[in-house]
Amino acid sequence: MRLKPKSKAGSFVELVVIVAVALGMALLIQAVLVKPYRIPSGSMEPTLAVGQRVLVNRLGERFSPPDRGDIAVFHPPKGADTSECGVPGEGPFYDGPLSRRPCSRPTRERSDQNFIKRVVGLPGDRIAVREGHVVRDGVLQRESYIRPCAPGAPECNLGAITVPPGHYFMMGDNRGQSDDSRFWGPVPKGWIIGSAFATYWPPDRLGLL
C-alpha cells in the first residue's frame, strides 16, 4: 500500500499542532511538576550564588511536608520587605545588645514575591539563633554549609519561639545577609511552592542539592 504524500498545507498544520502540544506540555510541567528559578540575591551563599538556576519540585509538597534541611521556594508574608510581624509588639525590636525578639506568627496575607531559603524548623520545634547558628530544642546545630555571621551581630542572635502548627521556620545560609523568618516569622505550609532539588546553571555547578 502506497502512502499518499502530504500536502504542504497539511505538513504545516501538523507542525503547528506538534509545537502547540509541546508548548502545552512544557507549561503543564512548569505549572504542576517542575519549575526553574533564578537565584536573585546572595542570601543562600555559599550554597547558591547570585544568578544560579535551580529546579523546584512543585508536586512533592502536595503529598508530604518539607523536612529540615530542605531548600524551599515560597511566598513570604506580606510586609517581609519592612520586617513586619503579624503579632503586635513582636518582630524587629531588640531586648538587649545580643538578642532580638522573634516574630512568632507572620502577617495574615502572603506576598506575591518568591523567596528561597532553607527549612530549619518544623511545627512544634523550639527555635532560637545564637551567633547565626540554629538552636533547636536547646541543642546547637552543626551547620557546616552556612556563611557565618560577624561575631556579636544583633540580627544573628534571636530569642526562642515555638514554631506554630502548620508553619515552617526559614533561614538563608548566608546568615548575616538574609531576610528570613528571624524578621517576619514562620511560613505557613500553604505558601510553600516546592523544594529545590537540583541546580542546572552555570554548568560548573550542575548537580543535586
Catalytic residue set: 43, 117
Nearest to 93 by CA among 130, 126, 85, 50: 85
The answer to whether the CB of 99 falls within 8 A of the CB of 105 is no
CA distance 128 to 102: 8
Mention every residue, 6+ apart, whose C-beta is less than 8 A from residue 54: 36, 37, 39, 48, 71, 116, 196, 197, 198, 199, 200, 209
Q: Residue 17 in 3-state DSSP?
A: helix
